[in-house]
Structure 1
Amino acid sequence: MFALQDALGELRPTAELRWLDLPPAWVVGLVVLPALFALAWFCYRSEPVRPGVRWTLTGLRFAALVAVAAILARPALVRSQEEVLSPEVMVLLDDSASMRRSDAYADDEAARRAIADLGLGPDASRLDVATRLLDRGFTGPLADRGWVVNTLAFDRETRPVDGTEALDARGDATHLGDAITTAVSRYRGRHPVALLVLTDGRSNGGADVLEGARVASIAGLEVHSVVVGDTRPLKNAVLELVEAPASALEGDELSFAVRVQGRGAAIGRRVEVLLEEVTEAGTRELLDSREVELEAAGRRVVLVAPPGPGDAESGERRLELTVPPLEDETLVDDNSASVAVRVSPEKVRVLYVEGYPRWEYRRLALDFLKRAEKDIEFQAWLQESSPGFPQEHGPGSKPLERLPTTREELLDAYDVVILGDVNPYRLFDDPADGEAFAAALVSFVESGGGLMFQAGEQDNPRALLGTPLEDLLPVIVDTSEDLFFELDTTKPFRPVLENASVPHEIVRLHPDPDTNRRLWEDEDGLQGVFWYSGVTRAKTSADVLLRHPNDENRFGRRPLLVAGYYPQGRTLFLALDSTWRWQWQYGPRYFERFWKSAIRWLSLGRLRSGDRRVRLETPRSRYGLDEAVPLEVRLLGPDWRPSEQESVRVEIEDESGEQRSVVLEADPGRPGTFGGEIDLDQPGTYGAWVETEGRRAASVAFEVVLPSKENADPTPDPALLAAAARLSGGTSAVVGSWRDVLAAFDEGRERREPMNSSLEDFWDRWSVLLGILALLATEWLVRKRAELL
């Protein structure tokens, strides 16, 4: 119904009598006809006949003279064909991403009534309103009035479409001026009469809209428009999800970072940001909240959900972050974000290798890890233990009789290895076993395992330099200046946070950032420590979490806690050896929270997916609606070697629960790796997962948002469209008064163009000659009867 129609109109044949040499009508009426009548009367004025006969003869003579005069005026029959071109209206339908927005229309009863009359609900998007206006409001009435409707969709580009069902509002920009000029040039040579623009009017690129309207006006086109959207001054609170965990373990706190922004009249208002858990029954439980003042630049807010189990069926926790709508807020579809976090009930399996029973080992291995039976399976290996001494272990585990030395043993039994103050090559009587252990640790981390280096006064990290394990360290140690630096152990110090406002989950001891900072840095916080291992700096790809408060080198303050990745696994370097001092004053609460957070973070490289042999990843947590989302699966076989499958299926689910799937093909250059992309047509939060043996084995979450240009200012701009209409003699209206625009498309606007014609003279016919002869013969007979011959 919206396809471009043929440029040829309807061909109509016509026949018309024309007088080729006829004088002007006033000459004929005032001169020729009176003269001919006078001549006819003069011929019979003195004849001796009755008056009736005289008038009859006069009339016949007058008719004969008129017939001769008519022949002299050259009557001709003109036969022709003409093309009747119906008036055309070019509909420009906005297909940019801002048309996905839903408006409140809080104070616009006419708009709400018009939308309801179109069969739409209050949550209809701008695109829904625009397409329904075209389908139900304009197309039928325009066709009844003889108009031809041609539809073009536009965003950054302008293109013809066959139907509104082809529109998806994914364009990353709105170039309305370009769309008008493109439509004018596309239909040049036909009979375009008007442009009808259905848009929110917010042009953010390309040619100037008013210049486009001038071009249309010069071409003789009227620009009409219906502005879709709530046209009140912008008042909008925006919540964007910045960071969210895709998966977690039971007992984990869940941290969510959002950016809350104010636009228009909302700037300066104070709002509350809520974190709620949504159950399968639809009930909501408030878990955390923060009050912020809305700013144009946005404020980053972190909310924390306490530990909790996943749903019994899906294994997920469904949470929603919300800013309650402001009074008279114009846009309410960007006030919330939903997140599904997969919760794995598996325990973290920890191997703690230590050289000697220092205080850190005693407090960590004996006081904490052995008691953490709900969350952690624990085994220790103490190098200086006596022969036959049963190694420490947690409930349900057996004491180690030997230290594992192969990759398979580590991957099958552990998720995290804590390497204390040891030299790996002195853990065994046979140096070959030390080499094997170091190689196994490297392969363990490469396959997703977590490895923590806790510094000590004897070996760690010194003994690791020049070995394969040095590559795993997230820090760089310069032997020329760091191994023998002077250390004052007489004064305690407290670490300082690298990012106190948004602390890493490992160093987030308290949900409130200010309280958390005081715990780390203030005198009434955690007990200070005396010793640390001085390292040069963190590696480029690593994240510094804690630094020394005053010890500096040419790279800045020395790092004390550094997190890194290598490449699928996670590593952590702790330059302190007396975290056990943090139990003073506060008891084990913060000491255990720190270690539990560190161990869980290290384990997520393997456990976050639920299956240690499957990993599903996407490079970023947020994508624009105009982007394809890349997905990558790393799949290992039962032997922990790369899978030889040809493809892997990934399931995708949106916030409404609708599911789709994408098949990822194997990457020939990377064994066991599968990659592909998926295009998503709705903004929101999505979950993706891989299933093995009927259960979810790996999962990831990400958000799809409107493109930045389209999201920067989505407020409708009726003034711009009204100005364009005035320039071209058109009409502009809002949703509630769209019928005013329809009324401007009246009937009788077609154009007629002659195609061909032929000329046929009337005088060159026997019938004309016979007619004149008949008149003269009749006059002769009447004269004969009147005995005038």
Structure 2
Amino acid sequence: AIFLGDGDWNLGTSPVGVSQQFRLKGVPIYTLATGNNKRVPDLELTSVNAPTYGIIGENAQIPFTIESSLARDVRTQIRIKSDTGAERYKDLTIRANSTHYDSILWRIEKEGASTLSISLPVTNGELIENNNSRDFVISGKPESIRVLVIETLPRWEYRFIRNALSRDPGVSVDCLLLHPDLGRGDGPDYIQEFPEKLEDLQKYDVIFIGDVGVGEGQLTVEQADLIEGLVKSQASGVVFIPGAKGNQFTLSKSNLGDLIPVILNQDKKEGLSESIETTMRLTPEGEESLLTMLGESESQNETIWRNLPGFYWQAPVVRAKSGSTILAENEARRNAYGRLPIIVTSRAGSGKVLYMAIDSAWRWRRGVEDLYHYRFWGQVARWMSYQRNMAAGERIRLFYTPERPKPGDFVSLSANAFDSNGAPLNDGVLQIDLTAPNGQIKRIELAKEEGAWGSFSGRFKISQPGEWNLNTFIPEEPAAAIEAKIISQTDAIEKTGRPARFEVLQEMSKISRGRMVTAEKIDELVKEINALPEPQPLVTSIKLWAHWLAPVILITLLSLFWVGRKLNGAF
């Protein structure tokens, strides 16, 4: 067998595995290598991982990846443009022969779906021009975020967070003030009791927990466990803002304590005080996070964080737990694990967690009033509620990953369903009518998960590119349904300009006892093939009497013979 190619493949597994089958049959593979082992000089926009929706009037972060095979650094611009003509640019420096990961901000201005195009200009020396742009669809949604703030003492941070959320038109806030001396707080936006019923608690997208723990006059173990279940089972978010009283240490008596994404020093429950103002700095992950984007651009954001007012107190954090992400850290204090973390995020089940190790972000108001403080906490609330509100109705809430799957990917589905009273649906089923891009409809039933939160899960495979429609419903209750769309975009199967993989061709030939040659040695290949012995013919023997057709044919012939004799009057 003669194989002509560059050794690369687009689908399935490596062709090396097929070589073993040829060897078993005694057929050598002679591979004729084509192509070049160096990639064609090019800048390629390889991926755009945009969210499926954004909040109207807010920035959405559009991550992208560029691969460079040019032998020099390139200074260029990335451009994003909407179908209405609006544009935004960002300056880039792409290093030679490297992969560049970055993102650009885009402000959502209208409700509904918009088609955006992100592109790079063709630079000098590029040989491929058709891989410098990509199109994607993003939807704008009005926001409606429900927040619960729980605190003991009305610290300055609590007061300004309450003000920030109360004045945000997209946020509805309830406050539960558990003052140790004055009792429950009262007034606008205040509630008097912790929402004990699941139908009352599940409406909150985000819960802020201040210097609050488990104990008399604070949360009970059962209430803390309810918050933990809300986060892990219903994709809500929880924000921990500790204080000098150290009440959050007692959360370890409940399951909620396991959600805290840092290890605390048990010997310094009062925290770490500073005699002079101390500043924080963003980590590389923090520089790329939408949570810490206080400016209108990345360069402006860097300047803002460098000039933010500092703090005089920090929670006694030893280190971040495994699997968490540090966004900001103490610029002055270090220990054996490195700089002390200040802002830490993590995932917990379906939900999100943020730990803020200082309680003086309100000082960011100096000279700019509410600008940065309000923006930061508003972005935290929106980030935490994002997945929970991907597709939400009165009775059903559906979220899925990945948001932009490719053909061949499995999409994981998670859903919460509620009865007519708003309580989690525990005695019922949840089904989805899945409509593929070609119009084929398939019904799937989500599996009920253990627990009392009305949680369901399932998955399906994306078999083709295009728009997939999901109609999620409770059987026999047609009004209890929501619609969701998943758009699957595929990359070009045949990628041009890629380097040849001669090592694959060599392995194929080695396994099958053939040889790899290049184009200039094709005459030698012809001579070598002609010198091979004549292959033995392949003989396949079939035992007729062992085949099932033999008795069938025999019985049929005997039946015809007997019928013929009857027709002729013979017995």
Which residue in the other structure is 2:199 paired with?
408
Change (3 A) 1:663 1:234: farther
Q: Kindly tell me: are residues 171 and 336 of structure 1, through their superposed partners in 2, closer, same or farther at Cα, counting changes over 3 Å?
A: farther
Query: Does the 8 Å CA contact 1:570/1:605 hold for their aligned counterparts?
Result: no
> Within 5 Å, which residues of 2 pair with 1:3-402?
170-171=11-12, 173=14, 209-210=31-32, 234-241=40-47, 243-264=49-70, 267-278=72-83, 283-293=84-94, 295-311=96-112, 316-326=113-123, 329-366=126-163, 368-373=164-169, 375-384=170-179, 390-393=186-189, 399-402=190-193
Query: Does the 8 Å contact 2:432/2:472 carry over to 1?
Result: no
Question: Does residue 577 of structure 1 match 2:359?
Answer: yes
* 1:263/1:530 CA distance change after superposition, 3 Å: same
Tell me, in whole angstroms, the C-alpha distance in 2 between the residues paired with 1:669 and 1:388.
Answer: 36
Partner of 1:493: 278
**1:492 Cα shift?**
0.8
Could you tell me how far 1:514 is from its partner in structure 2? Answer: 4.2
Write the distance in 1 (CA, Å) between the matches of 2:362 and 2:149: 16
The residue number in structure 2 matching 1:454 is: 241
1:349 positional shift: 0.9
2:213 paired with 1:423: yes
- Where does residue 508 of structure 1 map in the other structure? 293
Which secondary structure does the structure 2 equivalent of 1:209 belong to?
strand
- 1:614 to 2:400 alignment: no
Going from structure 1 to structure 2, the CA distance change for 1:700 and 1:507 (only over 3 Å counts) comes to: farther
Query: Cα 1:660–1:592, aligned 2, differ >3 Å: closer, same or farther?
Result: farther
Point out the more displaced range, 588-597 or 667-676.
667-676
Q: Is the 8 A contact 1:318 1:339 kept in 2?
A: yes
2:248 is matched by which residue type in structure 1?
Answer: P
Residues of 2 paired with 1:342 and 1:533: CA distance? 39
CA contact (8 A) 2:177 2:184 kept: no
Equivalent pair of 1:277/1:286 in contact (CA under 8 Å): yes
Establish whether residue 636 from structure 1 lines up as the match of residue 417 from structure 2.
Answer: yes
Following superposition, the deviation at residue 686 of structure 1 comes to 7.2
* 3-state secondary structure, aligned to 2:220: helix
* Distance in 1 separating the partners of 2:172 and 2:108: 19
Deviation by residue 1:405-442 (Cα, 9 ceiling, x = unmatched): 23221113x211111223354446xxxx8344323212
Which residue in the other structure is 1:38 paired with? Answer: none
SS state at 1:599 partner? helix
> Corresponding residue for 1:543?
325
CA distance in 2, matches of 1:295, 1:661: 48
In the other structure, the counterpart of 1:47 is: none
- Which residue among 622, 638, 645 is the counterpart of 2:429? 645
Indicate conservation of the 8 Å contact 2:75/2:91, yes or no: no
1:463 to 250, 253, 268: 250
Question: Do the aligned partners of 1:249 and 1:345 also contact (CA within 8 Å) in 2?
Answer: yes
Q: Secondary structure at the match of 2:378?
A: helix
Contact kept in structure 2, 1:493 and 1:530, CA below 8 Å: yes
Structure 1 residues 268-287: Cα deviation after superposition (integer angstroms, max 9, x where no partner) = 34332112223xxxx43213
1:425–1:570 Cα change, 3 Å: same
Q: Residue in 2 aligned with 1:675?
A: 458
* CA deviation map 1:748-770 (0-9, x unaligned): xxxxxxxxxxxxxxxxxxxxxxx
Whole-angstrom CA distance in 2 between matches of 1:296 and 1:462? 49
CA-to-aligned-CA distance 1:511-543 (integer Å, 9 cap, x gap): 5434423322x3xx1111111111222221222
Shift of 1:721: 7.0
Q: 1-side partners of 2:433 and 2:229: how far apart? A: 27
Judging changes above 3 Å, is the alpha-carbon distance between structure 1 residues 663 and 404 closer, same or farther for their aligned structure 2 residues?
Answer: same
The answer on 1:533 being equivalent to 2:315 is yes
Q: CA RMSD in A?
A: 4.3
CA distance in structure 1 between the aligned counterparts of 2:302 and 2:82, rounded to whole angstroms = 27
Equivalent residue of 2:303, what SS? helix
Unaligned runs of 5+ in 2: 474-478, 503-515, 528-571
Partner of 2:371: helix, strand, or coil? helix
TM-score by length of 2: 0.74
With 555-564 and 436-445 compared, the bigger mean Cα shift is at 436-445
Please state which structure has a larger fraction of its residues in helix.
Answer: 1
Residues 547-584 of structure 1 deviation map (CA, whole Å, 9 limit, x = unaligned): 11122233222211111222112121111111111011
Distance 1:644 1:696, change over 3 A: closer
**2-structure distance, mates of 1:498, 1:660:** 47
- The equivalent of 1:784 in structure 2 is none
The structure with more radius of gyration: 1
C-alpha change, 1:232 and 1:421, in structure 2 (3 Å) is: closer
CA contact (8 A) 2:52 2:404 kept: no
Instruction: For residue 309 of structure 1, give the secondary structure of its aligned residue in structure 2.
Output: coil
Identify if the C-alpha distance between structure 1 residues 607 and 622 changes in structure 2 by more than 3 Å, giving closer, same or farther: closer
CA distance in 1, matches of 2:440, 2:302: 44
CA contact (8 A) 2:211 2:246 kept: yes
* Alpha carbons of structure 1 residues 650 and 177: separation in structure 2 relative to 1, 3 Å: closer
How far residue 711 of structure 1 moved from its aligned partner, in angstroms, is 7.7
Q: Cα 1:478–1:676, aligned 2, differ >3 Å: closer, same or farther?
A: same
Structure 1 contact 629–678 (Cα < 8 Å) conserved:
yes
Counterpart residue type for residue 397 of structure 2: V
Give the share of equivalent positions with the same residue, in percent. 19
Counterpart position of 1:713: 498
What stretches of structure 1 of length at least 5 have no aligned partner? 1-89, 99-154, 156-168, 189-206, 212-226, 394-398, 731-789
Q: Report the secondary structure of 1:443's partner residue.
A: helix
Greater per-residue strand proportion: 2
**Residue by residue, what CA displacement relative to the aligned partner does 1:246-303 show, whole Å, maximum 9, x if unpaired?**
33333331111212122257x534332112223xxxx432133333335322211210
Q: Judge conservation of contact 1:290–1:301 (CA < 8 Å) in 2.
A: no
* Equivalent pair of 2:3/2:32 in contact (CA under 8 Å): no
For residues 172 and 420 of structure 1, do their structure 2 counterparts lie closer, same or farther at Cα, with a shift above 3 Å needed? same
The CA distance in 1 between the partners of 2:85 and 2:13, in whole Å, is 35
- Shift in CA distance, 286/444, structure 1 to aligned 2, threshold 3 Å: same
Q: What CA distance in whole angstroms lies between the structure 2 residues aligned with 1:411 and 1:636?
A: 11
In the alignment, is the contact (CA less than 8 A) between 1:95 and 1:171 conserved in 2? no
Distance of 1:688 and 1:438 partners within structure 2: 38
Q: Aligned partners of 2:521, 2:405: CA distance in 1, in Å?
A: 37
In the alignment, is the contact (CA less than 8 A) between 1:275 and 1:288 conserved in 2? yes
Query: Alignment partner for residue 339 of structure 2, among 557, 562, 581?
Result: 557
Amino acid at match of 1:457: A
TM-score normalised by structure 1 residue count = 0.55
CA distance in 2, matches of 1:482, 1:621: 45
Counterpart in 2 of 1:440? 226
